[in-house]
Amino acid sequence: MNSSRIWFATLSVIADFSPMAYWHMSNGAKFWFPLTSREQLSENRFAEEPFTYDEIVSVIVFSEFRFHQAISPSEWADLRRSLLNIPGLLCEEQTDVVYGPASPPNQALYLTVPSL
């Protein structure tokens, strides 16, 4: 599976659960951006954003986030399990992560796709 397909599968899962996410792109941009629907995605790029999945360096999804509703523990377990089952996705589990305005206590998944 190529990196665009891995990211598409990953982002589809993220869109289903809608956790707050912190993005790092290959052009150096870093930003907060929640996915709330699969309609935001097309096969190899975002439907309404000017970049492709191949430009993603990493995505961090959070269980809790100030100014955004936390997802329930059962949803977090389902999100975690769904992401861990995506072939080719590297998923590093983190706790008490600080990326302003995110602050502990929280859990996060640091998601990357290795170069293929």
Q: Which residues of 43-54 are buried (b: 16+ CB within 10 A; e: fewer)?
A: eebbeeeeeebe
pLDDT band for position 69 (cuts 50, 70, 90): low
Instruction: Give the bridge partners for 41, in sequence order.
Output: 46
Q: How far is CA 30 from the centre of its chain?
A: 13
How does pLDDT run across 28-47, given as a tens digit for each residue?
Answer: 999 988 899 999 999 899 99
Q: What is the pTM (predicted TM-score) of this model? A: 0.91
For residue 76, the 8-state DSSP code is H
Taking alpha carbons only, the member of 68, 57, 63, 74 closest to residue 109 is 63
The count of other CB atoms within 10 Å of the CB of residue 16 is: 15
